[in-house]
Structure 1
Amino acid sequence: MSDDKNLTVVLGASPNPSRYAYLAAERLQNHDKPFKLVSIKKGELFGESFLDLRDRPAIENVHTVTLYIGAPRLTEWLDYILSLTPVRIIFNPGTENMALAKAAESQGIEVVFGCTLVMLGTGQY
């Protein structure tokens, strides 16, 4: 891993504590992993304000994009996600968009079909 690429983007962040995206942000915080929260929702978690997905915010040093947007809706954001030039993309359950996965692989981005919560909990992150 390149040392300057250490940031995780939680795409589809949620201020709702019962959502997996919230739990992922909480666990990233607990594991001292730097992150940015990107969503169409407004909010703040753990001192990080949500960035508006519709603005397609430029974010540097992205190592991982972890997805919490349903697979059918990801196609709209495909170009934006790839523009972040992450090292890997984690497709959490329900986000498995094969067009995005193939486009990412063609650009040398690691594609993981898994669960961020499990990966963090088992030291595989």
Structure 2
Amino acid sequence: MSTLIIGASSKPDRYAYEAARRLLAIGETVYPLGYRAGKTAGELDILTSIPADLAVDSITLYLRPELQEEYFEQIVALAPKRIIFNPGTENPAFQQRLQAALPQAEIMAACTLVLINLDQY
């Protein structure tokens, strides 16, 4: 399974960093995407753009609502099975647009870290 983290961070005190660390620990392939290049958990390079050939099962958002719109077309093109809006990223209008564009996707407001802890990821 593979996950794209939108809003990845090189700062260990950020939830996106911890999500990368825990996803790696459960064997997930992780693609961290952020505004600034750097390293995140597992010494993964933070991508500053989505590779054209990327395929992912899940996308987990750690990006404030006002910054999400610029990723709409890219998210739709990836056609993930699941999109997780973590606490603080909830955006009902954006979630509805994504659901209309990706009717097969599970779009949820949840916490990636909690899902991992409950073995529901």
TM over 0.5: yes
Give the equivalent residue in structure 1 for 2:107.
Answer: 111
User: Gaps spanning 5+ residues in structure 2: where?
Assistant: none
Does structure 1 conserve the Cα–Cα contact (< 8 Å) formed by 2:72 and 2:98?
no
Deviation at 1:59, TM superposition (A): 4.6
- Kindly report which structure 2 residues correspond to 1:1-125, keeping only aligned pairs within 5 A, or say none: 6-45=1-40, 46-53=42-49, 56-106=50-100, 107-108=102-103, 109-125=105-121
**Whole-angstrom CA distance in 2 between matches of 1:113 and 1:31:** 21
RMSD across aligned positions (CA): 1.4
**Whole-angstrom CA distance in 1 between matches of 2:46 and 2:37:** 6
The normalised TM-score by structure 1 is 0.87
Which of structure 1's runs of 4+ aligned residues deviate more than 6 A? none
* Equivalences, count: 118
Does structure 2 conserve the Cα–Cα contact (< 8 Å) formed by 1:75 and 1:99?
no
1:44-94 per-residue CA deviation (whole Å, 9 max, x = no partner) reads: 2314211113xx432533110000000111112211222211111000011
Does structure 2 conserve the Cα–Cα contact (< 8 Å) formed by 1:91 and 1:113?
yes
**Whole-angstrom CA distance in 2 between matches of 1:74 and 1:59:** 21
Does structure 2 conserve the Cα–Cα contact (< 8 Å) formed by 1:59 and 1:84?
no
Deviation at 1:100, TM superposition (A): 2.4
Instruction: Among all aligned residue pairs of Structure 1 and Structure 2, give the percentage whose two residues are the same amino acid.
Output: 36
**Whole-angstrom CA distance in 1 between matches of 2:47 and 2:26:** 22
